Structure 1
Amino acid sequence: MHATRSAESGEAVNALKVGVVLPRHGVGDVAAHARHAEQAGLESVWVGDHLIPTSPFLDSTLVLATAAAVTERIKIGFGVMVLALRPVAWAAKQVATLQHLSGDRVLLGVGVGGEVHGDAAWRAVGVPYRERGRRTDAALAVLPDLVRGEPAKVDGEEVTLSPGATMPPVLIAGGPAALRRTARYGDEWYPAFSAPDQIAAAARELAALAAEHGRPAPRLTVALSIALGDVPAAAIDAQVRSLTEYGMTDAQARRALLTGPPARAAEHLAALAEVGVHRVIGMPFTGDRFRQAELFTEAAHLAA
């Protein structure tokens, strides 16, 4: 990127950070895409977290362990861990282990899980779907101590995990309803498919909520569906239809896409940076994922 780089970390200073979501399955694909993302100069790679999705999906912790094993610098992110699907002590053990294996490169996105995937996963693990928000908050309250190897109360029992690890940044995913959770527990707010004006309005509310807890305003990471370059209109229309399943209108879905040449995408990235976004995660929805990572990097260069 067109920015000064830290001699110690190699990361761009005062520049918009960009990352990409890894493929959902295929071990060779995961390793190849993680290496390619690092070589392209991206800041991070991310993977979703699903137990019983509508399409094949590998376990997120093992995907990130694979990504960490084949790279040296790039950060590895949960985009996002559905924390309430796991006993919190196991989740903490997984996070701490990834920190050790990766050399403190974990970015811990956390979400409560959405209705679009149904409740089959919740039934499978014996967790009532309606309790996912409460359980997520309870887990977030003790997770830092558990990851650090400090004593924590879990269901009335004192638990100390070993070895402890550095607690990674916590990014709380979700729309406006997640702001209170972010203000209380999160280092960053992590919305998806949001336009700059929506981000700006929510960020002001988030800062006020964080101040009520005596905490600084969380930072902002945004996820966007991307398809840069010459992309058939039919592919874009299909992605718009898929986004409307999340309750978005057709117009909102189209605003949430990052498409067109890198120069046009750079204008959108610059607008997000202008309202305080410091990281954008690209979710490629076309088959040319290597090329999308390269074009996304180019757009970030132009936006710097």
Structure 2
Amino acid sequence: MRLGVTMFTTDRAMPVHELARAAEERGFASLYVPEHTHIPVSRRTPPPNGEAELPEPYRRTLDPLVALSYAAAVTERLHVGTGILLAAQRDPVVTAKAVATLDHLSGGRVVLGVGFGWNVEEMADHGVPYGARREMARENVLAMRALWRDEVASYDGRFARFAPSWSWPKPVSGPPVYIGGAAGPKMFAHVAEYADGWMPIGGKGIKAALPALREACEKAGRPMARVIPFGTIPTREKLAYYAELGIEETVANLPSGPADVVLPVLDEYARLVQRPV
């Protein structure tokens, strides 16, 4: 079982390059960071965690690809990923270039976790209608994959389109794409069509969901998607349970704070890495 970590990287939290170094030194496999371009003051959209107030780190997140470039530059083995990148809110051509550049410079260590988003006001400022966010994210990922794959790439969708074009560098690793979110037919249809795997947030209910995910992949004529439980609080028993399900990597949640808050938790998790499950 590989263990990765995720943290809300902000201007007040432990610097991301220091966290990346500390994670690699302790044997962690990966570091994931989230994305919010901005948070409109209006709270018409309730916080996704059920709390009355949206936690401060949501308002202060660093750009994920810039932050991960710092993480990749000071490490050698650590995989760096978005958890999650809001694909519908991004220009696919510009994002494909940035991701490919990061993957090229890091030697193929990028993992792209993408999601559909929850903040209606944030999406609106990007011109994304809430009801179209899934299809926009889908097209943007498919357009990016064409740019990463094809010597002369093009895409002609409802939301994303560009004429036959050259775009280098090509990424080393693909990179693998995982979709974050809750289990369900729509989610698994997206995973089966254009992603490499599923990132269930929090990790609850995975066993019950696996048959539906497997069925969706079989209908699409592809191998079973990989599963990475994301943002969990790990225990030895939980990691053993995931391993029994055939899961090879889990991503643990770190508090967003300074080093004296983050490092003790990282050290606690590291004991699980040092004694493999």
TM tier, smaller: 0.7 to 0.9
Shift of 1:303: 5.1
1:269 corresponds, among 206, 230, 239, to: 239
Higher helix share: 1
1:153 corresponds, among 142, 152, 155, to 155
Q: What is the SS of the residue equivalent to 1:65? A: helix
Gaps of 5+ in 1: 1-15, 227-257, 259-264
Aligned equivalent of 2:25: 39
2:137 aligned residue: 136
Q: What's the counterpart of residue 284 of structure 1?
A: 254
The 3 A distance-change label for structure 1 pair 61 and 101 is: same
Does residue 44 of structure 2 align to residue 58 of structure 1?
no
Q: What SS does structure 2 have at the residue aligned with 1:267?
A: helix
Residues 271-280 or 151-160, more deviating: 151-160
1:108 aligns with 2:112: yes
Among 85, 91, 97, the residue aligned to 2:89: 85
Q: 1 or 2 for the larger relative contact order (CA 8 Å, sep ≥6)?
A: 2
AA at the equivalent of 1:272: Y
Q: Residue 72 of structure 2 aligns with which residue?
A: 68
Distance 1:112 1:90, change over 3 A: same
Looking at structure 1, the residues matched to 79 and 62 of structure 2 have their Cα atoms a distance apart, in angstroms, of 19
2:192 to 183, 186, 211: 183
Give, as a single letter, the amino acid of the residue that structure 2 aligns with 1:211. E
**Distance in 1 of aligned mates of 2:150 and 2:103:** 13
- Report sequence identity in percent: 31
Deviations 1:96-141 (A, max 9, x none): 0111121110011111112xxx323222222222211011111222
> Aligned partners of 1:129 and 1:18: how far apart in 2?
33
Whether the 8 Å CA contact 1:21–1:281 is kept in 2: the answer is: yes
Residue equivalent to 1:298: 271
SS of 2:15's equivalent in the other structure is helix
Aligned to 1:13: none
CA deviation profile, 1:21-52 (whole Å, cap 9, x unmatched): 14421386111111000100100001001111
- Report whether the alignment pairs 1:30 with 2:32: no
The corresponding residue for 2:171 is: 165
Moved over 3 A (4+): 300-303
The 3 A distance-change label for structure 1 pair 28 and 191 is closer
User: Would you say how many aligned residue pairs link Structure 1 and Structure 2?
Assistant: 247
Asked if 2 retains the 8 angstrom alpha-carbon contact of 1:21 and 1:47, the reply is yes
**What is the identity, as a one-letter code, of the residue corresponding to 1:72?**
E
Over 3 Å counting, the alpha-carbon distance change for 1:146 and 1:41 in structure 2 is same
Q: 1:206-217 counterparts in 2 under 5 A?
A: 206-217=213-224
Q: Which residue of 2 aligns with 1:21?
A: 6
AA aligned to 1:161 is: S
Q: Name which of structure 1's ranges 138-147 and 265-274 shifts more when overlaid on structure 2.
A: 138-147
Q: 2:72, 2:106 within 8 Å by CA — same for their partners in 1?
A: yes
Which position in structure 2 is the counterpart of 1:239? none
Sort the Cα spacing of 1:209 and 1:141 in 2 relative to 1 into closer, same or farther, 3 A: same
Which amino acid in the other structure matches residue 5 of structure 2? V
